[in-house]
Every structure is written in C-alpha cells, then in structure tokens.
A and B are shown apart, each in its own frame.
Chain A
Amino acid sequence: MNDAPVVSALDLQREYRMGGEIVHAVRGVTLDVMRGDYVAIVGPSGCGKSTLLNLLGGIDRPNAGTVSIDGARIDRMNDREATRFRLTRVGFVFQRFYLMPALTAIENIELPMAEAKVPSVQRVQRARELLAYVGLEVRRDHRPAQLSGGEQQRVAIARALANKPTLLLADEPTGELDARTGAEMIELLGQVNGDGTTIVVVTHDEELAKAAWRVVHMRDGVIVDDRRRAS
C-alpha cells in the first residue's frame, strides 16, 4: 500500500423513491480506499453496502457527495464516459457471475478486452495468462454451463482483471458458492490483492471479511465502524 487513495468518497448520499416513500440508502458516507488495500464492507441486509459499492464503481450516481477513482470524478461523468472508465479502470465480480453462456471461458475473459480494442493476439495471450492465474487453463474451451460455480466465479474474476483495473469491486463473490469453493475464492482474491490489485468487497461471509485488511461496518446507510486488521 502507499498513501495515495485509489477511491475517495466524500459525504455520499443516495435516495430512492419507492412508491410514495423515499428510501435513504446511503446517508453521508465518507471513505478513502488506499492503493493496494483490501476492504470488506459488511452489515445487515438493506444497510446500503451494495448501493455504496455501486456508487464507488460508478454504476450508480449519488444524489449528493463526490466519488473519485485515481482522482477522476466519476460522479460527474456522463453514461458514456462512466462506461468507458469502468471498462479499463474498474473490475466487477458479482454474486451470480454473469458470464456469457454462449462463449467459452477464454472468450468470456477476452470479451472486455475486445471492447477495449485490445488486439486479438494480445488479448488471447492475456486471457490464457489469466486462465492459468485462476487455475483453469484446462477449462479454457468450456462454456459456463460446463463449469462448476467456483469455476465460473474464477472465470468471472479473471474477466474482471482482464483490462488490468486499478480497482476490483466484488459484491458477495462467495454468496453462490459452497464453503469449500468459497474458501478457494477467498484465497484467490487474497492472491489478486497480494499481486497489487485494490479490492473492495461487499459480503456477509465472515471468512471473506476476515481475509480483508480493513473491515467497514455499515448500518442504516452510514458507516458505524471502520477497523483495520492488525498485520
């Protein structure tokens, strides 16, 4: 880690209108994530942690407050700019993997690179390296339906790393996995972080939270505790 924050969120607020009611999902969150950090955001369901993750990754926009990634104000970007920014600077891993069923494992990993206009030869090479990194080089030509849940999530992580993002955001990455596979996933994320990628993960999984360097507790849209694990 160094002293420069990769992510800097200042007084973030996000409200939703549900019928006639206004739901205050995030109410004034300020959070800096330093380069190389591994942050777990935990809390009860509905406390606003997934909303915060979406705000940090530029998927959603705050009603008030600012979000910067590497100094770029993503809350000010229009949709096109934010999409382009996310493609190359932020990797996402979701609970349900969201792999393209018609594409093979290696093709799924190639997909974001193709969108980023990486030349074919380079992206195939990079995809192979990532498959090897997540331990799935032998499954390169398998489609998602031919892969286990853990394998699919590994492919999803490899895909998230394809464009060498500054920041990896993961929303319940072990939520669909059994305990053993989940443990493998925790190990893989630790490896990814150890190799220099900043990670922010939202989880209910205590084991995953324990693996993080820093645990941020949320309740009712605000951060109620923010602790760094003793190294």
Chain B
Amino acid sequence: MIERLAFRNLLVRPWRSAFLLFGYSLGVAVMIVLLSIGEALLSQARQEKLVGGGQVTVLPSGIDVEVLKTGGLGGMFFSIDRAHFIYRQMLAAPRLSPFVAAVAPQIEGKLLYARTLGGDEVAVLASGEIPSRTSAVDAMPLIAAGAWSDDALDREWHDPAPRELRHSIDHFHVPPPEAVEDPSWAEWHYFNVLSSDRTRWAFIAFMVTGEVPDGRWGGQVLVTLHEQGGETRRFVANLPPSRIRFSTSTADVAMGESSVTVLADGRYAVRARAIEERGSRPAEVNLVVAPTPGVYFPGAALTTAGVVSGYVVPGLRAEATGSICVAGACEEYRSAQAYHDHNWGLWRGVTWEWGASRAGPYTLLYGRVQPDTSTTAQPLFIYVTDSLGFLGLFRARDIQYEDTRMLRVDGKTIRIPSRGLMTDIRGDDTLRVELTVEDATAMDTRTPSGDRREGLSAREISRPYFIQMKGRMRVSGRVSGRAIAGEGAGFFETYR
C-alpha cells in the first residue's frame, strides 16, 4: 500500500515528485557526506593516537585537546611547567598506580625552522616522545625502518636512578645575565641534622658567592652548631675560586678540603672542614645523608622585580649517619633526622618565611620569599608529602605568630616567635599547621657576620634580624578525602 502511495504520488504530481525526489536525494547525499564527516570526527575523537594515546590527556590550563588534533593555532607553542614533577610525583607516582597503568610525556609537534649549512631555512615539525612510554599508551607510530626505543636520556627522564635525580635537580647554576654583575649572587647546598634527643643540631652550608664566574667570587663553608639553651658556635672556611669546583650538571661541589658528593646510590657524602669563627678550634663534619625516596621538592625559580632566586629540596626527609667533631671531640649520628636543600639567586634585601618539618608520617615544607620592593605578601606555599611522595599543596595567607620569646642579639633584646599557626582551605581539603618554638638563634643581617654584600649604608631592611628556630610542628586536616594528623620536629626561619 505504501508503495502504491509512493508510485501514485509520482504519477499524480510528476514534477513535484521529481523535484522532491531530487531534493530528497540531494538531502540524503548531503546527509551521507555529513554523516561521513561526523563519523570521521567521531573516529578521530576516539582515535587515541591522535592525542598521544592513552585515555586521559593532560594539557596546560586553557589549551583545548582539539588544538592537538587539528594542529590549530599555527602550531601553538606550549609546554607543561614542571613536567618532570607532574610525571614522577603525580601521574606516574605510586599513589596513582592503582588507577594509572602508563603515562607518556610528549611534546607535540611544533613548527621550527632549521637553517641549512647553505643558509636556507626549512620548516620542520619537531616533537618529543619517550618510545617506551608512548608504546605503553598504545600510540606507537608506524616505524618504516630501524627501531624506536629508549636511549639513556629517555630512561633517565622517566625513571631516573636516585643519583641521576639528585644531579638533575641539585646542580649548580651560573648567574643569569641580570645577575652576573651582582655581588649579592649566592648559591649553596644546605644540610641540617638533628640529634635523636632533639637537643643538638647542626647547619652545614657550602656557599658559592659573588660575581660568578668572572668577577670577585669565592666560596664559604659554614658549620653552625647549637645545643638547646646554649651558645651558637659558628665554624667558617673561606676559599678562593682556585680551590672551588662546582658543576652546572651535577650536585657535586668541592671547596678545599670540604665537599659534597653524590654517591652511586644517591646518598650525599658531606665532608666539611672549618675553623671556629671566634677561636681556633677546628670542626670536622663527616656525614652521609640519605634522602627518603620520593620525598623531595622539585624546585621553583623566581625571576621578577629584580629578584632572581631558586630553591630545590632534594632531601626533604632524610637521615644522616656519621660524626661531627670539634677539636677532636666527636658526636656520632645514627639515622638522625636530616634535611637538604639547594638555593641560588640574588638576596639583596630579600626576607623569607621558611620551614621544613616532619609531622608523624608526613613531611611538610612551607615558604615565601619577600623581595624588599614588594609591599604585599604573597600567600605561603605549604607542600605536604608522605611516604608516597607529593600529597598536596596548600596556600596559607600568612603565619599568625605569637612573639612571646625574648632573645639577645649583639647586646639587644628582641621578641621572637614562640608559636605560629597556618591554616588553609582548598575545596574539600583543609590544613592546620601549628608551630611550637623550642629554641632559636638570631643574627643581625646588618653586621659583618650577617653581611649579604648589600653594603651597610645601603641597607634599609625593615626586619633586619634573621631568626632560625627549632621546634615542633603539629599537622591536622584532610587531604583528598583522607584525614591527616601528625607531629614532629623541624626547623623554621623568619625575620624580625
């Protein structure tokens, strides 16, 4: 009946039917084309290889995945800051291993121009991938000939040995152009170690300062020993450039008889020789510092408003074994609580809030650098780790200090913190950090011993006293839906 209806319609109104038939055919044809395009789009959308394989694509904020598929925006240049960290401490970290089978870091094709020896410029598309990782997310390209496999650098990128990781984040730097003539440039390795009864501690610094490498520069080994309630003893060794060896590709540094060497297993061999600042007794430090795997801060570099500074913490939670001797009297350390960081930059008029502490199974790092030109304080960062590495990041607005301790510095009594409190709420995550100061030392940065090569007459620091504190940190809150709580010992710094 329907066929009859259709046929009859054709006979009754042949022109209209023909027109409709043509229109319908055209419509069907268009639909077929559109559906084909749609199918192709759908196929492409499902084609994992077009966006690098895998099931989830991580892009910088503001970049749409379609940009990758289409190569849009003129081969837009973008990259993910801290890609190493995001890879090792987040996406491919043990914490996500139940959910993430493989992660493939990739630099999408970028339009570059290569200049030939003849001077011609040729447009080339450059991209970067790690073969084993790309293969793991099922996005291997077709290999026309030969093999495509990881080389040593690929492996070092995605699965560095502890020693390789130390060197990659803990190496030295040459000053950037804006700092090369600034004598306040300094770069140093810093270690601290705390006795098991938490009554004695040591700060050991290996500092390269001045106009490196062309101007007046030198090195300083500084060992600070302190016993709770007692005097601070400082031991110093100043060294000329001829006796200093540092590298921009490794963490190793040698300053006369002192040195920091990364051992084959990634531990640090710390050897320091210095003479008492107000006397002649020698101090000898021989420690092996072993960072807890995965518990490190990847580093941050700040270049703004005349401030160039960088900071990395290869040993946020570490243990030290060895001895510290003064004039032959040695104190032995066995798996003592330790810490290691690395700093570089210009420090003219810069103040900071800083702290690193254990809190039960957690280890926290907080900080903020305040240039002298800045009138507004940026929020602090609070970096939280546990045995699986990075756990969460918080941004407390400030530290609420209670300045009820008194301390004498060069004959003057100053108030310093006895307690501190930081809180932050980020979505469903909350963090409360309470600091309790057990002991402290202070230094007037305007005195020669605290000189940061700023020039005494030029210095107008509103908070000239640099306060180093030892104390307890108590942490509570909730991270990723899990309650956290813990308490432990640590070191904190501020200015007054």
Contact = CB atoms under 8 A, between A and B. Distances in A.
A102 B12 contact: yes
A115 to B, nearest CB: 7
B5 A100 contact: yes
B8 interface: yes
A71 interface: no
B115 interface: no
B1 A114 contact: yes
A171 interface: no
B9 interface: yes
Interface in A136-171: 143
A103 B13 CA distance: 12
A115 B3 CA distance: 12
Contacts of A102: 5, 8-9, 11-13
A146 to B, nearest CB: 12
A115 B9 contact: no
Contacts of B8: 102-103, 107
A111 B5 CA distance: 9
B412 interface: no
A114 B12 CA distance: 21
B278 interface: no
A44 interface: no
A37 interface: no
Nearest to A104: B8
Interface in A97-118: 100-103, 107, 110-111, 114-115
Interface string B5-44: 1001101110000000000000000000000000000000
Interface residues of A, number: 10
A141 to B, nearest CB: 12
Contacts of B482: none
A101 B2 CA distance: 13
A155 to B, nearest CB: 15
Interface in B66-91: none
B447 to A, nearest CB: 75
Contacts of A107: 1, 4-5, 8
Interface in A174-231: none
A115 B5 contact: no
- Which of B1, B4, B8, B12 has the largest count of A CB atoms less than 10 A from its CB? B1
Contacts of B1: 107, 110-111, 114-115
A101 B17 CA distance: 13
Nearest to A145: B12
B12 A101 contact: yes
Interface in B456-471: none
A114 B5 CA distance: 12
Nearest to B2: A114
B3 to A, nearest CB: 10
A107 B7 CA distance: 13
A102 B12 CA distance: 6
B280 to A, nearest CB: 91
- Which of B8, B9, B11, B13 has the largest count of A CB atoms less than 10 A from its CB? B8
Nearest to B9: A102
A51 B4 CA distance: 34
Nearest to A110: B1
Nearest to A114: B1
A103 B12 CA distance: 9
A103 B7 CA distance: 10
Nearest to A112: B1
A150 B13 CA distance: 24
Given A102-B8, A102-B11, 5 more contacts: A100-B5, A102-B13, A107-B1, A107-B5, A115-B1
22 contacts: A100-B5, A101-B12, A102-B5, A102-B8, A102-B9, A102-B11, A102-B12, A102-B13, A103-B4, A103-B5, A103-B8, A107-B1, A107-B4, A107-B5, A107-B8, A110-B1, A111-B1, A111-B5, A114-B1, A114-B2, A115-B1, A143-B12
Interface of A: 100-103, 107, 110-111, 114-115, 143
